[in-house]
Amino acid sequence: MSRSRGRHGPREPELSEAEAREYGIRDTGRIPGGLTHLANPPVRQYQPPVPPKLKEFRGQDAHGVPPAEVGEYNREVQRERQHPYDPKFADQPPVPSPVPVYVVEKAGGPRPLNEAATGHLTVPAYTAQPVPVCGEDSRRSLVQLLNEDSTHDIRFGKLEQLQFDAANSVITGGSLLPAAATGYTVIRTQGDLWVISADSSTPKLSFILEYGIPDAL
């Protein structure tokens, strides 16, 4: 496209109406608002398409059902349409009757062996130190004591219990093993035992210690 010059100045090119609008050479119409620009066509407002609401059950499970809709959801029940959904526990098999069980130990195997240790000793006078009859033993089950003297008593017990009272010339604490006894005094203990004479005499004492040896047989 070119402009030619005539006798009265440049001459407008010969353009069609469409070419003139395309190149913007001259105003081909009135623009609203008096603005000298090319206005876009007005935008038309459209509502977004809304699909029709589907039924909750359409012959198969419909995925994407809103959480607020908590109606039909059991496939088998809704297909049959015979009864509402009512869960029940399945029948359990009957519980068998308990059978009594007796635990019976075998006749053989390791067994403890019961033993007895016997002896006698001379009990010192009350001014001396007490002497031990036996020490601590978890295997022992029984202690038997007999005062062989017919006139003088003996005191027995823990060492800290047999204290000599010099002012009164007596042994404080402990238990009495009387003189002229007709049988043994039985004491069930696994601890230690000590003896001392109740006076200045030195009586004789016989003892029997019963204990068990584990896994001896």
pLDDT tens sequence across 150-192: 999 999 999 999 999 888 889 988 999 999 888 999 999 999 9
Is pLDDT above 60 for 204?
A: yes
Mean pLDDT of 139-145: 93
C-alpha neighbours within 13 Å on the C-beta side of residue 56: 12
In the prediction, which pLDDT does 72 show? 53
Domain boundaries, the chain: 113-213
Question: What is the assigned CATH class of domain 113-213?
Answer: mainly beta
How far CA 157 is from CA of 15, 26, 176, 177, 210, in Å, comes to 142, 138, 9, 10, 18
Residue 161: CA count within 13 A, CB half-sphere: 14
Asked if residue 126 lies in contact with residue 197, where contact means CB atoms within 8 angstroms, the answer is yes
Total-model pTM: 0.49
CA distances from 80 to 61, 74, 76, 104, 205 (A): 14, 10, 6, 61, 100
142 pLDDT above the threshold of 90:
yes
72-120 pLDDT per residue, tens: 555 555 555 555 556 778 888 888 888 888 887 666 556 778 899 999 9
Q: Residues of the chain with pLDDT > 90: what percent?
A: 36
Q: Distances in Å between the alpha carbon of 166 and those of 125, 127, 155, 175?
A: 13, 8, 16, 19
Average pLDDT on 203-210 reads: 95
- Average pLDDT of the chain, as a whole number: 78
pLDDT tens column, 18-55: 776 676 665 555 555 555 555 667 777 888 888 887 76
Q: Which amino acid, 102?
A: Y
| Band of residue 207 on the pLDDT scale cut at 50, 70, 90 | very high
Non-local CB neighbours of 69 within 8 Å, separated by 6+ positions: 56
> Beta strand 175-177 with 113-122: parallel, antiparallel or unpaired?
unpaired
The pLDDT assigned to 56 comes to 62
Percent of the chain with pLDDT over 70: 66
Distances from the Cα of 38 to the Cα of 28, 29, 44, angstroms = 11, 10, 18
What is the mean pLDDT of the segment spanning 53-62? 61
